[in-house]
Amino acid sequence: METRKRSIVKAVIWNIMGLVSMTLVGLAATGSVKAGGVMALVNTGIGFTIYLIYERVWAQISWGRRHV
């Protein structure tokens, strides 16, 4: 089982990567750094929350784990 701190660090790193890539996608789609940045921030906030919940739910599921 992962600690909450590990789950949060993983989520933050993942979302930083997502923030950068979403900003570039938003820039390409709109031609505006500001619009791309806003889209990326909204996406990151939603994604961060969903990812944390997802990780914590799976941390409680023992299916598929091997205990050594």
Mean pLDDT of the chain: 86
Tens digit of pLDDT for each residue in 23-35? 898 899 999 989 8
pTM score? 0.63
Q: How far apart are alpha carbons 62 and 45 in whole angstroms?
A: 28
Helix H, strand E, coil C: the string for the chain is CCCHHHHHHHHHHHHHHHHHHHHHHHHHHHCCHHHHHHHHHHHHHHHHHHHHHHHHHHHCCCCCCCCC
